[in-house]
Structure formats: structure tokens, C-alpha cells
């Protein structure tokens, strides 16, 4: 390793540095790291150890004043292990300098941030990204996000968020990869690798944090932070896979969730953090809490701050985000014998190891480079990739009479509350976004049409009629209220609409209508927007509805009455151009839903991989007495998991299995021919499902077990294969053993979860 000439002074610091540099931290095994950390820990006081477990937010840091800030003075005393959500390399350098020069042992800080779907180049929200089913592209988004964030001094991101969600009332559905554990696990692996690279050796590789462990996406009634209660079989088979995949991919850290898991809050749940995460999955990173999750356990009813902090430590939590429970109470608990030094040391060790693996002991300024910040953030190349990836995430739900794609010309009206708002393009959790740099939809459409036609805009209505609700849904600089009367807004919109050849209706949610603390009790299009849409349809002009959303939307009326619906989610900083690319047909839509779209609120939670029950009812039968269902609604969703149209058509044929029998050590290859039967080149996402017909426990009616995104030229055919191994047939039985039980299985293939062809085979 080369010695760097950085500002790392002080006797103790020099000694530390010499040790950390006696071998490359990477590739020489863990022996050197352990020796280094042993040596460092032998020098640490209890206060310094507890300091490493402390993660405050950065609120009071101003450039050039790190030293005199409240956090700066704590850092100087060795009372802080890391800081999060500081933006800007100068501020980060200042604070790191305090840590390495002013504190007694000079231990560098971790700098974390919620880099959830890009940094200043913002990618589509994670739910949208998952609809691309393109794990290579998703890995690229994480790679670019890491490059930009690290250029700004960040070495740790609180991502990927891998919580499975089957309840779109929950606002944080927007931050995850939808309802499926198999796809979710593939995306978790891709993102961890994208952020961390192979070993976090380079200065553009940052540490990932898999969150929120565990089950945060299953709160009762879809209400954020609410109780979660589920069987262990369901945890392991339907919710844990993405976390496990993140652990196996080597994520450096995990974040606990706010909710209870089997009655005990995750942050104090020893079974979860120690037995499952570290024991069963063999993971060796460190666990940070979510924001104030330790002190929140007082409200959960687990005791006072001292008590809940001790519980958290003993459960396997290593770092305390903001609650000041570890720093504030563990010394007393140690004195009173409520925790032991071994437990504190284990947590300190894991955090120091993370810093070692990041290379911060070798060079605490590894991520500090003003030139990089100037040259590597929001570059044209990154923006081009963001635009291309965004086009893959839009889901075409309806396209009657091939209204889409539109001609780039004529008179186009852009109407709706999402039509001309820059700040609402990136979506929730875009903490490093620069809103004024991004285009609104109207601007994107206008740029695409250029001099070939006219584009006019009218808002038509507000996001919602109720100003208080709108204020709650447009926080953090994303206000969009228009205070003219509803009648005036509508009159203007109708005039614009009547003078057009086609109407693009920009409807749906604002960025902060989903995301944290944005659960909704009704996920339909707001009534005032629906009224506008009805008026637009009534003009007789063709209407293309763009649905901006951070979750599934109920669009039963819309699906019957609006000719074309493209779900555009929140497409990131380049969303406007990407939408124009698809709307005008430069790119064929190819996204497929990763969350089921319900018909009505009563169907929620609704998901494709459900059990059969003892009284199943055919999906398309409306009502049958004494069969599982509703008296007033079909069971089937409006749009199923995996669904999405294209501007071309595909035919699936020649589905075959290489054998109808397999042994536990054998394989069967399933193959299907997919043909592009339309006139445009396009991508198709081929989906493969399995059903275990007989098990010792009830098994889902189908489970995704393979997918392949392929490109087909017009008229072209490709044969797509999926290899069935015994591993693919395994599940966690009642004893939580991971087993493939002999018997009959069904293999299914198709363009979505409902429209499948099937063949049976037997596992001997």
C-alpha cells in the first residue's frame, strides 16, 4: 500500500496508521485486520468505545465550522463513530479532520447518507426500477450513485431497502422492489454489488446498508411504523429472501426496522439479529438502528432508555442512530452489570472492522477530493444512463386502438397537476437532488416536439382538493398548490384540451404522497383528479393518462374509460425526457408490474403468490357461495403482478420440459419460444413460475423462480431456457428446514403471472 500524504497527525494517529498500512487491508485475509483492531481496542477507553457506537445526524454543520459545531466537539472527544446526511466534500473533510487530528486516537468517521435511488443524478424510485426487471441496469444505478456520492465524500449509503410489500397503503412501497421475494433477492444482490464493488477498495465504492431488518413492509393496515405479526414460515419463505441475499452478497451493514418482529421490536430482537442474521446466515457486518429506534422502544413499552439500550446491545445491535441510548446509558449499565464489556467490545469491533474494510484507517480522506466532486456528479454520461434506464421502468397498462405512441407533431395538450412541476419528478428520498436542474414533464414534451408542433399546458386541478392534505403530500420544497378556484383551473384546462389533437393527462401522486410517513387509507386517484380526467375524456379527444405514483393505484374507472394508461412512477432527474422517449415511440415500453394493482381497497393486501385455501374460486368467477371471495368484488386484480404491454406483440409457443421427472441431484430444463409478432423491435420480460402441488405445508399457487429480459427484433424468435434444480424447489417447512419435498410440481411460463402455460413434472 502506498502511504498517502494526508493530514493525519498526532502520535497515536501515526501509530494507528502505521499498523493499518502494514498490509493491504484487502486480500490479505482477516488476520491483519483482527490484529489491527485488537491493538486499537486495547488503547481505547470505555468512553471512546461507546463513541464508536454513536451515529448522530449532521444537523448543525456549516461549511468551515465543523470544529465549533456541537457534533464537532463530540467528535474531538471521541464520542462519535459516524455522521450522516452531510452534503458536500468540504464539510465532510472538515469534520473528518477533527476526528483524525483532534481526537485522542484519531479514529476516522463514517459518513452516511440516504442515497436511495441515485445522488444528484436521480434514477427512478426503487419500485419503478424493479419494474424494469433489469438487474444489470439496476446494478449500474447503484454503481453510478456510489460514484457520485463518494465524489461528495460519502462512504456509506442506507440502501438497498429490500422490504417486501404487499400492501400499497404503506407509503414506503415506493422504496422497495415490490411484492416478490425472488426478484427482490436478485435486486438486493445487484445493488449491494453496485455500491460496494468487489471489496470497497476503490474510492468510488461505498458500503451498503440492507434495510429495514426485518419485515418493515408488512405493517398492519399499511400504516407506517405499525405492528408486524406473521408466522416464521411466512417470514422465511416470503419476506426474508432479499435480506438474506443482501447478507450473502456481503453488505457491510444492516439497519434494524422500527416494527416488532414476533412481538419484540426488531432493534431488541436477539433471535432476529443474532440467531438468524449472524447465526443462520453467517453474516459478519455491523447492525445500525433506524432513526431513534432505540429510544422508540420506550413507547413500545420495553422500559426506560437505559433498559432499552441494554436490550438492543444484547440483541446484537452495534450502532445507535440518533437516540443517544448507547452513548448515554451503556456505561451505567456496565457498572450495574446489566451488560458486559464483551458485548460492548463486540459491537465496537464490528464498526472498526467496517472502517478498516473501507480503507479509512489507511486513508481517512480517501473519499475527499474536490475535483471529483466537481467532475463526477450529475455528468452528461450519468444522465444519459438515467434516462435510458427510466424508459425501462414505465409500465404500459392499456393502449386501446394504439393511441400510443404519439406523433411528434400536431397540437398536444399537457394537462394535470403533475404536468409542470420539476421538484416532483425525482420521487421520494432524493436527498441530494437539485430540483431546479431537472425538467418538468411539460418541458420534456415541448423539447421533444420542438418546431414540429405546439405543446400547451394547463394544470386543470390541484393534487387534491384539501389544501391541508396537499401540504402534507408536498413537503421538502415540493409545493405545487395553485390557489385559483377549481372552476377557473378546469375552464383553462378544457380550453387547452379543446384546442388540441391529443391530451396527455399528467395525474397521480406528488413525490411525498408516498415514501416515509405517507401511508394512505385510499390509493385511488383523488376525486378532483378523476373529475378532471372525466371532463378531458368527455371532450372526445384521445387521452393518454400518465400515472405518477409511488405505489399501486386503484384505476378501475380509468381502465375502462381512458384509452391509454402509462404508469410512469417517479422516473428521476431525467424522467421528463424518458417519458417523451416512450410516449413518442423512440423507445418501446417494456416495464412489468412488480406490485399487483387492485380493483378496490377491500382487496388489499392482494398478491399473486397467495395460498390456494381449502375453498378456492376461479379468478374470473365473480361470486360462488361458500368459496373464498367477496360478495361484491371479484378476487382477481385489475392488473396482475408481472403485467405490462408493449407497442409490439409477443407470442409464447413450444413450451417444453427436458424431462417430466427429476431426482434431487438432477435438473430439468424448461424452454419456450418467444416471437415478436408485431412490427417494432422491443424488449420482453419472460417470466417463469413454479408451483409445489403437494407439500407438508400449504404452498403458494405460484412463485416466480426465473425471469429473462430479452430483446427481439420485429419478427424475430428466441428460445428462452430456465434450469430447474432441486434448490429452486426448496422452501422452509414447519420446522424451518429448507427442503425440496418429493412429489408433483407445475412449471409455468408467460408474459405475466396470470397469462401462463403450464407443464407438470415430478421430483423423485
Q: Of 41-100, which residues contact ligand BGC (CB under 6 A)?
A: none
Q: What is the DSSP letter of 604?
A: -
Which residue among 97, 169, 211, 551 contacts ligand BGC (CB under 6 A)? 211
CB of 114 to ligand BGC, least distance (A): 5
Question: Nearer to ligand BGC by C-beta: 211 or 551?
Answer: 211
CB of 192 to ligand BGC, least distance (A): 16
Query: In this structure, how many other beta carbons lie within 10 angstroms of the beta carbon of residue 65?
Result: 13
**Interaction pattern, residues 124-143, with ligand BGC; x per rule: CB under 6 A:** --------------------
Q: Confirm or reject binding of residue 470 to ligand BGC (CB under 6 A).
A: no
Question: Nearer to ligand BGC by C-beta: 119 or 158?
Answer: 158
Question: Nearer to ligand BGC by C-beta: 81 or 416?
Answer: 81
CB of 319 to ligand BGC, least distance (A): 12
Question: Nearer to ligand BGC by C-beta: 125 or 672?
Answer: 125
- The answer to whether 170 and 519 are in contact (CB under 8 A) is yes
Q: Confirm or reject binding of residue 291 to ligand BGC (CB under 6 A).
A: yes
Cα separation of 62 and 260, whole Å? 37
The C-alpha angle 153, 154, 157, rounded to 5 degrees, equals 170
Using CB under 6 A as the binding criterion, the count of chain residues that bind ligand BGC stands at 6
Cα separation of 100 and 109, whole Å? 8
Cα separation of 746 and 762, whole Å? 9
Closest CA to 429 of 189, 186, 145, 196: 145
For this structure, is 290 an active site residue? yes
Closest CA to 430 of 28, 48, 141, 226: 141
Q: How far is CA 202 from the centre of its chain?
A: 24
Closest CA to 384 of 118, 121, 681: 121
CB of 175 to ligand BGC, least distance (A): 7
CB of 516 to ligand BGC, least distance (A): 6
Closest CA to 254 of 318, 195, 210: 210
Question: Which 3 state secondary structure label does DSSP give 732?
Answer: strand
> Checking phi first, is residue 749 left (phi over 0); if not, alpha (psi -120 to 50) or beta?
beta
CB of 636 to ligand BGC, least distance (A): 34
Measured between its terminal Cα atoms, the distance across the chain in Å is: 55
Q: What is the DSSP letter of 29?
A: T
Q: Choose, from 290, 420, 577, 752, the residue flagged as catalytic.
A: 290
Determine the residue with CB nearest ligand BGC.
158
Pairing of strands 410-415, 502-508: parallel
Question: Nearer to ligand BGC by C-beta: 364 or 515?
Answer: 515
Closest CA to 172 of 516, 478, 488, 429: 516
Cα separation of 92 and 85, whole Å? 10
Cα separation of 239 and 635, whole Å? 23
CB of 384 to ligand BGC, least distance (A): 29
Question: Nearer to ligand BGC by C-beta: 48 or 290?
Answer: 290
Residue 565 Cα distances to 158, 561, 568, 592, 600, angstroms: 33, 10, 9, 13, 18
**Interaction pattern, residues 512-541, with ligand BGC; x per rule: CB under 6 A:** ----x-------------------------
Cα separation of 278 and 247, whole Å? 9
Which residue among 163, 290, 373, 420 contacts ligand BGC (CB under 6 A)? 290
Output phi, psi for 7, to 5 deg: -80, 85
Question: Nearer to ligand BGC by C-beta: 6 or 291?
Answer: 291
**Interaction pattern, residues 92-121, with ligand BGC; x per rule: CB under 6 A:** ----------------------x-------
CB of 705 to ligand BGC, least distance (A): 30
Question: Nearer to ligand BGC by C-beta: 122 or 505?
Answer: 122
Name every residue whose Cβ is closer than 8 Å to that of residue 395 and which is 6 or more positions away in sequence. Answer: 131, 566, 567, 589, 591, 592, 593, 643, 644
Question: Nearer to ligand BGC by C-beta: 90 or 224?
Answer: 224
CB of 211 to ligand BGC, least distance (A): 6
Which residue among 158, 213, 608, 732 contacts ligand BGC (CB under 6 A)? 158
Question: Which 3 state secondary structure label does DSSP give 353?
Answer: helix
| Residues contributing to the site for ligand BGC (CB under 6 A) | 114, 158, 211, 290-291, 516
Q: Which sequence positions are flagged as catalytic?
A: 290
Amino acid at each position: 500500500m502506498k502511504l498517502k500524504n494526508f493530514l493525519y497527525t498526532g502520535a497515536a494517529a501515526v501509530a494507528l496508521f502505521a499498523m493499518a498500512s502494514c498490509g493491504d487491508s484487502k486480500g490479505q485475509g482477516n488476520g491483519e485486520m483482527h490484529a489491527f483492531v485488537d491493538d486499537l481496542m486495547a488503547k481505547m477507553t470505555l468512553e471512546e468505545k461507546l463513541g464508536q457506537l454513536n451515529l448522530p445526524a449532521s444537523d448543525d454543520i456549516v461549511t468551515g465550522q465543523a470544529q465549533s459545531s456541537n457534533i464537532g466537539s463530540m467528535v474531538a472527544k471521541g464520542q462519535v463513530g459516524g455522521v450522516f446526511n452531510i452534503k458536500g466534500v468540504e464539510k465532510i473533510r472538515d469534520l473528518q479532520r477533527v476526528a483524525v487530528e483532534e481526537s485522542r486516537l484519531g479514529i476516522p468517521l463514517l459518513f452516511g447518507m440516504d442515497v436511495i435511488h441515485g445522488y444528484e443524478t436521480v434514477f427512478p424510485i426503487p419500485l419503478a426500477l424493479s419494474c424494469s426487471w433489469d438487474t444489470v441496469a439496476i446494478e449500474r444505478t447503484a454503481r453510478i450513485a456510489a460514484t457520485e456520492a463518494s465524489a461528495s465524500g460519502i462512504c456509506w449509503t442506507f440502501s438497498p431497502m429490500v422490504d417486501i410489500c404487499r400492501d400499497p397503503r404503506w407509503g414506503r412501497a415506493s422504496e422497495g422492489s415490490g411484492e416478490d421475494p425472488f426478484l427482490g433477492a436478485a435486486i438486493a444482490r445487484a445493488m449491494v454489488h453496485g455500491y460496494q464493488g468487489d471489496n470497497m477498495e476503490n474510492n468510488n465504492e461505498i458500503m451498503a446498508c440492507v434495510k429495514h431488518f426485518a419485515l418493515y413492509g408488512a405493517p398492519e393496515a399499511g400504516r407506517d411504523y405499525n405492528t408486524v405479526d406473521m408466522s416464521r414460515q411466512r417470514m422465511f419463505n416470503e419476506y426474508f429472501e432479499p435480506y438474506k441475499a443482501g447478507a450473502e452478497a456481503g453488505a457491510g451493514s444492516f439497519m434494524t426496522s422500527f416494527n416488532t418482529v414476533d412481538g419484540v421490536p426488531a432493534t431488541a430482537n436477539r433471535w432476529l439479529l443474532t440467531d438468524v442474521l449472524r447465526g443462520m446466515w453467517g453474516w459478519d457486518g455491523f447492525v445500525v438502528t433506524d432513526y431513534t429506534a432505540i429510544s422508540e422502544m420506550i413507547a413500545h413499552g420495553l422500559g426506560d432508555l437505559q433498559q432499552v439500550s441494554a436490550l438492543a446491545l444484547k440483541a446484537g445491535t452495534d450502532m445507535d442512530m440518533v437516540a443517544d441510548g448507547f452513548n448515554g446509558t451503556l456505561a451505567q449499565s456496565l457498572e450495574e452489570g446489566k451488560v458486559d464489556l464483551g458485548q460492548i467490545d463486540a459491537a465496537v469491533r464490528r464498526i472498526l472492522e467496517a472502517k478498516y474494510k473501507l480503507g479509512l484507517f489507511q486513508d481517512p480522506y480517501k473519499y475527499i477530493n474536490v475535483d471529483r466532486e466537481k467532475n463526477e456528479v450529475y455528468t452528461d454520461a450519468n444522465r444519459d444512463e438515467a434516462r435510458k434506464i427510466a424508459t425501462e421502468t414505465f409500465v404500459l397498462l392499456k393502449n386501446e386502438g394504439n393511441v400510443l405512441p404519439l406523433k411528434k407533431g400536431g397540437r398536444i395538450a399537457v394537462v394535470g397537476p403533475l404536468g409542470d412541476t420539476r421538484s416532483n419528478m425525482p420521487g421520494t428520498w432524493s436527498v441530494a437532488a437539485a430540483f431546479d436542474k431537472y425538467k418538468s414533464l411539460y418541458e420534456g414534451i415541448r423539447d421533444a416536439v420542438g418546431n414540429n408542433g405546439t405543446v400547451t399546458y394547463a394544470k386543470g386541478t390541484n393534487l387534491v382538493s384539501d389544501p391541508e392534505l396537499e401540504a402534507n403530500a408536498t413537503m421538502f420544497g415540493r409545493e405545487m398548490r395553485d390557489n385559483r378556484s377549481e372552476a377557473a383551473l378546469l375552464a383553462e384546462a378544457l380550453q387547452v384540451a379543446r384546442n388540441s389533437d391529443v391530451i396527455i393527462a399528467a395525474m397521480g401522486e406528488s413525490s411525498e404522497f408516498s415514501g416515509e410517513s405517507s401511508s394512505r387509507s385510499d390509493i385511488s386517484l383523488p376525486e378532483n383528479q378523476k373529475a378532471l380526467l372525466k371532463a378531458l375524456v368527455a371532450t372526445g379527444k384521445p387521452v393518454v393518462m400518465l400515472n405518477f405514483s409511488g405505489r399501486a393505484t386503484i384505476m378501475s374507472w380509468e381502465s375502462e374509460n381512458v384509452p391509454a394508461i402509462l404508469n410512469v412512477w417517479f422516473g428521476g432527474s431525467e424522467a421528463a425526457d424518458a417519458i417523451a422517449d416512450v410516449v413518442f415511440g423512440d423507445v418501446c415500453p417494456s416495464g412489468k408490474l412488480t406490485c399487483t394493482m387492485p380493483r378496490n381497497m377491500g382487496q388489499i393486501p392482494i398478491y399473486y403468490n397467495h395460498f390456494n385455501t381449502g375453498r378456492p374460486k376461479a379468478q374470473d368467477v365473480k361470486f360462488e357461495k361458500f368459496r373464498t371471495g367477496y360478495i361484491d368484488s371479484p378476487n382477481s386484480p385489475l392488473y396482475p403482478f408481472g403485467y405490462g404491454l408493449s407497442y409490439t406483440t409477443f407470442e409464447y409457443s413450444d413450451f417444453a420440459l427436458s424431462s417430466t421427472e427429476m431426482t434431487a441431484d438432477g435438473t430439468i430444463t424448461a424452454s419456450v419460444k418467444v416471437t415478436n409478432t408485431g412490427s417494432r423491435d422491443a424488449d420482453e420480460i419472460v417470466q417463469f413460475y413454479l408451483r409445489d402441488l403437494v407439500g407438508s405445508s400449504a404452498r403458494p399457487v405460484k412463485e416466480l423462480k426465473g425471469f429473462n429480459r430479452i430483446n427481439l427484433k420485429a419478427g424475430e424468435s428466441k428460445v428462452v431456457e430456465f434450469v430447474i434444480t432441486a434448490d429452486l424447489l426448496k422452501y422452509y417447512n414447519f420446522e424451518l428446514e429448507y427442503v425440496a419435498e418429493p412429489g408433483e410440481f407445475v412449471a409455468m411460463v408467460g408474459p405475466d403471472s396470470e397469462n401462463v402455460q403450464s407443464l407438470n413434472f415430478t421430483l423423485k
